[in-house]
A = this chain, B = another copy of it.
């Protein structure tokens, strides 16, 4: 691996800002550019835009990707959208510039079932250029898929797997609280679910990754989204939910085979959740469970996972990778050996 790694940030929203502040702490990383299509951000200093205490950094945000990617870039960290079709051109642009890509696009985490043709196109393009790309984040990309598969390394037999993630959205950003419907009437919540406006992306991708990793051939993957109803008033720094209104989402993705649940992933994300946690259960030989009390913090961990994947993606074989193939670990802040 090179002694220094030239990194570009693609997408400077809240997650992108968190990513670049963390990148700034890595002695072996040079942040050489940033891309965001919002004209209001173009030309601004990346450090200032990201709320960094040591701003300005002397790196300007640009709305034009080709210009930024015309310089040598080792890795692009990409966080613009959940939709793979929506970011194909962005990803292909990074690849054709010869950069490895780490993206928080949920649908990229395991795209073989929903978007097999797009996955094949990305894989071919990456191999052609000799670079690797991966979709990751806390979920999908870590707690409900990678961690399940790592735990299964100690299993002699796995019949079924379940993961439950309970997130206290009171501690999260306002856009997230709104995205999960906090404060809505239940009817409004259901209308928005039907319209596709309320949904955490990536659960079916995690189900497919886990099933493939466990050698389970699924008949079907289904998904349900229900409201969590507040039983008492819940106040957050941003909003208030009265009893009987929606506190957040309860979303379940099930992979079934032979009429039985084989991989079940359950996400509860709501304001006022009192015992947030991540838990994993494997049923088989032996039965084993794992828990992370308090849970993995979504924004902190997603930025961490994306940045920590840098040494791993640079060392990976060319092509479209998934976290299933990659030895995820910490990216030490010091100079490279």
Give A contacts to B, CB under 8 Å. Answer: 22, 25, 138, 142-143, 146-147, 149-150, 152-158, 213-216, 285-286, 288-294, 296-297, 300-301, 303-305, 307-309, 324-330, 332-334
Contacts and interface: CB of A to CB of B under 8 A. Distances in A.
A182 to B, nearest CB: 23
Contact of A157 (B25, B157, B325): B25
Contacts of A304: 153-156
Contact of A305 (B153, B307, B309): B153
28 contacts: A22-B156, A146-B150, A147-B150, A149-B330, A150-B150, A153-B304, A153-B305, A153-B308, A153-B330, A154-B300, A154-B301, A154-B304, A156-B304, A156-B307, A213-B329, A213-B330, A213-B332, A215-B330, A215-B334, A216-B332, A288-B292, A290-B290, A290-B291, A290-B292, A291-B291, A291-B293, A324-B327, A326-B327
B152 A329 contact: yes
Nearest to A297: B286
Contacts of A285: 300
Contacts of A293: 289, 291
A293 to B, nearest CB: 6
A146 B147 CA distance: 11
